[in-house]
Amino acid sequence: MDIISSKLIEEFKLKPFQVENTIKLIDEGNTIPFIARYRKEATGELSDEQLRDLFDRLTYLRNLEKRKEEVIRLIDEQGKLTDELKLDITNATTMTEVEDLYRPYKQKKKTRATIAKAKGLEPLALIIFEQKENKKLEDLAMPFVDEEKGVKDVTEAIQGAKDIIAEMISDVAEYRKDIRKIIYDMGVISTKASKPDEKSVYEMYYDYNEAVNKIPSHRILAINRGEKEEFLKVKIDNTDENIIGYLTSKVLIENGSFKDVILEVIEDSYKRLIKPSVENEVRNELTSMAEEQAIKVFGQNAKKLLLQAPLKNLTVMGFDPAYRTGCKIAVIDDTGKLLDTTTVYPTEPQNDTEGAKKKLLELINKYKINMIAIGNGTASRESEMFVADMIKEVKHDIYYAIVSEAGASVYSASKLATEEYPDINVSLRGAISIARRLQDPLAELVKIDPKSIGVGQYQHDVNQNRLEESLTGVVEDAVNSVGVDLNTATPSLLRYVSGVSKTIANNIVKYRDENGKIKERKELLKVSKLGPSAFTQCAGFLRIVDGKNPLDNTSVHPESYEVAEKILNSIGFSSNDLKDKLPAIKEKLHTINPVKIANELGVGEPTVKDIIKELQKPGRDPRDDMPKPILRSDVLKMEDLKEDMVLTGTVRNVIDFGAFVDIGVKSDGLVHISEMSDKYVKNPMDIVSVGDIVKVRVIKIDLEKHKVALSMKGV
């Protein structure tokens, strides 16, 4: 077993076969969703999240080993590689440790030490550093005075030697590692205002201190942003004395010579060379950890948003609120097809409520609209009040729901929207997107860059490549966990299916357009560029409703069709019976012993369990188990709120310090982490997720700032 596998086994507390098989599957080109769903026996049923974490760590460790080899080669080429140094590099566990060990051998730019070395002062530096010589320092320095080399006098010779020693101390890997630990253990992040008299969102940080090892990630990112925008000055305090004491204990020899010089050099080395560099490294590490946390939170929120329950079999009116330019309206039938569009002006400055009401009531009655999806952006509050008043005049049941419109404008102006609706005005496409988000959040939100869907914190401050990579994985996991209707899916949805590239997604749609509906999964092999390998990866995630084979409408993989048939045969049925004998099949499947069947068929138990589950509910949408959106028929004003009022709301965003909940007023209320439970809460995501329907109690109302504080305790 290699070093990397051993490390992963230890870190993730996994069995050797789980790690070794997962690495093998990844290296063979299998996608994470495919491995998570169809290779459970090989991985010991690791989830998609566990597999992604393992993949990320595998990538880091492989890059680390590659860098170690490179550093060893570079030092060896200089003829300075010792067995001890090679062992230290080989045993290093982080990139930072490797770079610390390489530091003394790295080609340096022009520094005070390199200039002094060029003047021939290194031997003098070594004499001083050894602290054994009893002669006067001036006498020792005299032979090194050489005007031709640029050493004019004894003072210059001594200063040059001190510069060399300062860099020698700075380059010791052990010292840098220990100093970093001192900063983590004892350091205090200190922030001051750059412009004390200027108001800003960073005022709480105008005179702020917090321990390095306790500062939460959202504060690190807030401080970084304040510093970048030049509102804050940031430094790390409380460590200088301890670090200088530590260096003195390491460098100064008891009863050695040149004590005053050595102490002076230690202080110079620390303050000029080590401190700026190591503090910068510590802040970079804190930022990196904070970014990873922010990306993780963003990903978890995005996944919950993508997996919100769809509202099926409803004709929906999308209502994109605005003031001057009017509210854009789009009517979508239960299949997502656009039926009608219009623009109305019930808000300022026109205030044409009667004209808007007349036009919308006509559309509602004409298309038997059951639901109105109102975007939550500008003029949303006024639009909601107008809609709540208008639907009182509708004879049939009709409700409205507030829908996040984050990214709708991005979609409206995108190339994809232009291709989907070439003849529809850009401004009306936003209303279409809002309506479809209520009907099928996943199918609509995949059309938008995940960074634009508005469920994160500091997403513009984190590493954008890492964020994009992480969110792409989140969308892939969401899409593949639900499955995709092969005959209706758009290219934007298909490209997130395991094994399906953007080109293959377009080719599937092209094949569909040219040949009509795809009738069975194996027909996919006729699609251009979709070969056997891609078919293996994608087939199980693509559903065919009313196809030739009922198993094609389940997540049973074609490679397991034979097993599925045998399971059905064992209870007296075949796959064709799934069409009209499902209740009887479900009843019989409950009597099956998965362990016994797995042994009889020579198949893994997890696969048998998954097949049985699928045969019980062919075509089942896992999102049906998720909380449905809150449907409203009346409006709640901020002025209606009273302290201790208990309300039902939808969680819109979860952050490190709490969650924002839509309770039907203009601004989402904040449930601070301290108000989530009577017990201590370490992470808000342990309590709530985006899309959850929760009961909350109003504990504070600020009408001036339009802020509401909420509590989940005891409700």
What is the pLDDT at residue 635? 65
Query: 234-257 burial, b for 16+ CB within 10 Å, e for fewer?
Result: bebebbeeebbebbeeebeeeeeb
Contacts by residues 191-195 (CB-CB < 8 Å, ≥ 24 positions apart) = 191/223, 191/226, 191/227, 191/232, 191/233, 191/234, 192/232, 192/233, 193/231, 193/232, 193/233, 194/230, 194/231, 194/232, 194/233, 195/230, 195/231
Same domain, 528 and 582: yes
Total of domains in the chain: 4
CATH of the domain at 10: 1.10.10.650
* pLDDT, averaged across the chain: 92
| Judgement on whether residues 346 and 432 belong to the same structural domain of the protein | yes
331 pLDDT above the threshold of 90: yes
Indicate the residue type of 85. L
Name the more confident of 420 and 556.
556
Average pLDDT for residues 231-259, to the nearest whole number? 95
Question: How confident is the model over 523-559, as pLDDT tens digits?
Answer: 999 999 999 999 999 999 999 998 999 999 999 999 9
> Are 575 and 657 contained in the same domain?
no
**Do residue 648 and residue 619 come from a single domain?**
no
Residue 613 banded pLDDT, cuts 50, 70, 90: very high
Residues 599 and 650 occupy one common structural domain: no
Q: Confirm whether 432 is domain-assigned.
A: yes
Does 31 fall in a domain? yes
591 in the same domain as 676:
no
Using the 3D structure, point to which of 405, 439, 473 is the last residue of a domain.
439
Q: Is residue 251 part of a domain?
A: no
Same domain (yes/no): 408, 332: yes
| pLDDT for res 1 | 67
Max distance between CA atoms of the chain, in angstroms, equals: 106
Question: In CATH, what number is assigned to the domain containing residue 699?
Answer: 2.40.50.140
Lowest mean pLDDT among 23-32, 218-227, 439-448, 631-640: 631-640
pLDDT confidence of residue 144: 95
Cβ-contact 616, 586 below 8 angstroms: yes
510 is a domain residue:
yes
- The verdict on residue 289 lying in a domain is no
Residues 81-91, buried b or exposed e (16+ Cβ, 10 A)?
beeebbebbee
d(CA 154, CA 158): 6
Q: Which of 105, 136, 159 is the last residue of a domain?
A: 105
pTM for the predicted model, two decimal places = 0.83
By the 8 A CB rule, do 296 and 304 touch?
Answer: no
510 & 531 share domain: yes
- Pairing outcome for strands 371-375 and 316-320: parallel
As a whole number, mean pLDDT of residues 415-427 equals 89
Model pLDDT for residues 84-128, shown as the tens digit of each residue: 999 999 999 999 999 999 999 998 889 999 999 999 999 999 999
Q: What is the pLDDT of residue 376?
A: 85
Same domain, yes or no: 375 and 341: yes
For residue 209, tell me if it sits in a domain: no
Mark whether 354 and 326 lie in a shared domain.
Answer: yes
- Which residue range(s) make up the domain with 571? 502-625
Q: Which of 406, 421, 439 is the last residue of a domain?
A: 439
CATH code of 580's domain: 1.10.150.310
Q: Is the pLDDT of residue 704 over 90?
A: no
In a domain, 266, yes or no: no
| Co-location of 39 and 93 in the same domain | yes
pLDDT at 639: 82
For residues 4 and 43, what is the distance between their CA atoms, to the nearest angstrom? 17
Domain match, 515 and 611 both: yes
Does residue 36 fall inside a structural domain? yes
Output the domain CATH number for residue 432. 3.30.420.140
Mean pLDDT within 147-162:
95
Banded pLDDT at 271 (limits 50, 70, 90):
very high
